[in-house]
Amino acid sequence: MPLGIEKEISIERKNMIWRLYVDGVQIGSTFTQTSNYTKDIATAYVGSGIYEGYSSDRDLNGTLRDFQLIKGLAVGGGQSTTPRI
Domain ranges of the chain: 9-78
Give the pLDDT of the chain (85 residues) as one tens digit per residue: 677 788 888 888 878 888 888 888 888 888 888 877 666 666 666 766 656 566 666 667 777 777 777 777 666 555 555 544 3
- List Cα–Cα distances, 29 to 19, 21, 59, in angstroms: 7, 10, 23
What b-and-e string marks burial along 10-40, b requiring 16 or more CB atoms within 10 Å of the CB? bebeeeeeebbbeeeeeeeeeeeeeeeeeee
User: Are residues 50 and 58 in contact, defined by beta-carbon separation less than 8 angstroms?
Assistant: no
